[in-house]
Structure 1
Amino acid sequence: MTNFAARFTVSRRNIMIAASLLAFTSLTHAQQILRVSAIPDEAPTELQRKFKPLGTMLEKKLGMKVEFIPVTDYAASVEGLVNKKLDMVWFGGFTFIQAKMRSKEQVIPLVQREEDERFKSVFITTDKNITKLEDLKGKTFAFGSESSTSGHLMPRSYLLAAKINPDTDMKRIAFSGAHDATVAAVSGGKVDAGALNISVWEKLLAQGKVDTKLVHVFYTTPGYFDYNWSVRADMPAELRKKITDAFLNLDPANPQDKEILDLQRATRFIPTKADNYKAIEAAAHNAGLLK
């Protein structure tokens, strides 16, 4: 074989190897999956229903498969992202702080709903004699999940500010695990009162799932920063930008986008940053929920 023929054979082999590697890389990219989850602050079926059109939109915008992976509890959503079993999670403010601390600042919040700049919790009861926070002394009470911002942390903070320690001043406290479960516990007479996020309360009202002759709101908290979509810091910047843009470009004038926004109970999505949640972190420290 001449030197030219040998060089041609080697070059041809290199081209074929390069082509195979390119094909493998393309195939791997095509099979890439964005693993998404959310804190289980509502029933699993409701979380799946809310995510379905959002997942479809993200698949189109990102050019990759998007899979929703439900988790058993709030802690699992934090551990899933920190341990790289999840790529993006819908966190509450408190779970975001927990993830940020667990990951040593390696979790980035991308976007939040405009409503999350001034989120609120509501306190509900069936007892007409309960009209203010101070009336909860000696009563039974339900929070949501222990790691919930709007179902535990902030309600506890406002109770403490009113000089009511839930652990010593109430007859009994319980953790329902989810906002809709708190409403069920109060309306079913299992507890005298409870606290949940205002968004779920308003949704249940709109769906006619609350008997307002039986259950009523007796206290609404001031506003605070809450939910966001967060990713790990090791996610490629290009993918982070595509995800961010997909949320920011949702247009309520577009019927498909409006369905997504309505299900997310959002007017629109806006950029967010870790500094927005410093007050949540301080509240968690003050309430003794962060060491």
Structure 2
Amino acid sequence: MQNKTVLRLFASLAIGIAAVSAQAQQVFRITAIPDESPTELARKAAPLAKYLEGKLGVKVEFTPVTDYAAAVEALVNKQVDLAWFGGFTFVQANQRSGGKVVPLVQREEDEKFRSVFIATDPAIKGLADLKGRDFTFGSQSSTSGHLMPRSFLLAAKVDPDKDLKRVAYSGAHDATVAAVASGKVDAGALNISVWEKLVADKKVDTSKVRVFYTTPAYYDYNWSVHADMPAAQREKLARAFLELSPETPEGRQILALQRATRFVPTRVENYKGIEAAARNAGLLK
């Protein structure tokens, strides 16, 4: 009888430990490249995390990272389950993981994304006018704040490393606008959706800071996962994004914060153009 009691005790203890362990594992972690201020990223993530909790049935936590490289490493090493990448960051993560990082969904807008070049000096009317000027990109790993603007500068016969007086890296799109507005640099390039949001929120004086060049379209941002994620969970996650609709208050709020009309499926092949641009610019080996 005593042995049975001991066995029951051990069984209960084992079940308890398993339950605690399962509970500890039931946290779905998401992160995002820090292309905007930490407060803005947290504001955008909060309602999305709450929505995903309801769809996935697990606790969802947003895990901020210090830089773009940290976002790549977090997903490659499975420290997070879902990451918001720019096109170039995705290419880096896919390469770094040996093809184990895969894009899940993207905003409809990301099928035809653009960058804008901004300045305050009215004498700057085109890319050629940047020669001999101080210029800032965003983060070095940014698609819309560095890679694609650099690619279009090179196509216009403007080599940033040779033809510009000084090249800086602001670290984020909103920081690029601040640098140009304050006169720290003559011009800069950034993500068009951040620019439009800053203009809409009246956080930039468009009588002083203006867009003088808008790039052709290219594929950009996506939500990526690790290929080791179980297929059922991946399908459930994709469905959650695809079901977001402006017809519901919750969907409308999330889509507005994500600056999206809707989410659509995406695939690795969509980012081959960005990979080629990165190699041509010497940013990917």
Moved over 4 A (4+): 19-27
Find 1:79's aligned residue among 73, 87, 94.
73
* Residue 4 of structure 1: aligned partner: none
Cross-structure match for 1:141: 135
Residue 27 of structure 1 and its aligned partner are, at CA, apart by: 4.5
Partner of 1:220: 214
Aligned residues with identical type, % of pairs: 66
Q: Are residues 1:253 and 2:247 paired?
A: yes
Larger Rg: 1
Give the whole-Å Cα distance in 1 for the aligned partners of 2:15 and 2:145: 50
Query: Is residue 140–residue 193 contact of structure 1 (8 Å, CA) maintained in 2?
Result: yes
From 269, 275, 288, the counterpart of 2:269: 275
State whether residues 110 and 273 of structure 1, in contact with CA within 8 Å, keep that contact through their aligned partners in structure 2: yes
Q: CA deviation at 1:30?
A: 3.6
Distance (whole Å) between structure 2 residues aligned to residue 127 and residue 101 of structure 1: 40
Answer whether contact 1:59 1:65 (CA < 8 A) is retained.
Answer: yes
| Aligned counterpart, 1:29 | 22
Q: Does 1:204 align with 2:198?
A: yes
Q: Which residue number in structure 2 is paired with residue 123 of structure 1?
A: 117
| Equivalent residue for 2:174, pick from 151, 164, 180 | 180
- The 1-side partners of 2:85 and 2:257 are apart by 16
Q: Which residue of 2 aligns with 1:114?
A: 108
Unmatched runs of 5 consecutive residues or more in structure 2 = none
Q: Deviations over 1:231-267 (max 9, x none)?
A: 1111111111111111000011001110000000000
Which residue of structure 2 lines up, in the alignment, with residue 157 of structure 1? 151
Q: Deviation per CA, 1:123-176, whole angstroms, max 9, x where unpaired?
A: 000010001100000001000000000000000000000000001000001000
Q: C-alpha separation between the residues in 2 aligned to 1:222 and 1:242?
A: 34
Name stretches of at least 5 consecutive residues in structure 1 with no aligned partner: 2-8
Please report the RMSD computed on the Cα atoms of aligned residues, expressed in angstroms.
Answer: 1.9
Deviations 1:196-233 (A, max 9, x none): 00000000001000101100000000110000000111
How many residue pairs are counted as aligned between the two chains?
A: 283
User: In structure 2, what is the Cα distance between the partners aligned to 1:261 and 1:181?
Assistant: 24
TM-score (structure 1 length as normaliser): 0.93
Q: In 2, are the aligned partners of 1:92 and 1:228 still within 8 Å (CA)? A: yes
Question: Aligned pair in 2 of structure 1 residues 21, 109: CA closer, same or farther (>3 Å)?
Answer: farther
CA distance in 2, matches of 1:26, 1:154: 48
SS at match of 2:153: helix
Distance 1:268 1:86 in 2: 24
| Equivalent AA in structure 1 for residue 190 of structure 2 | L
Residue 67 (structure 1) aligned with residue 61 (structure 2) = yes
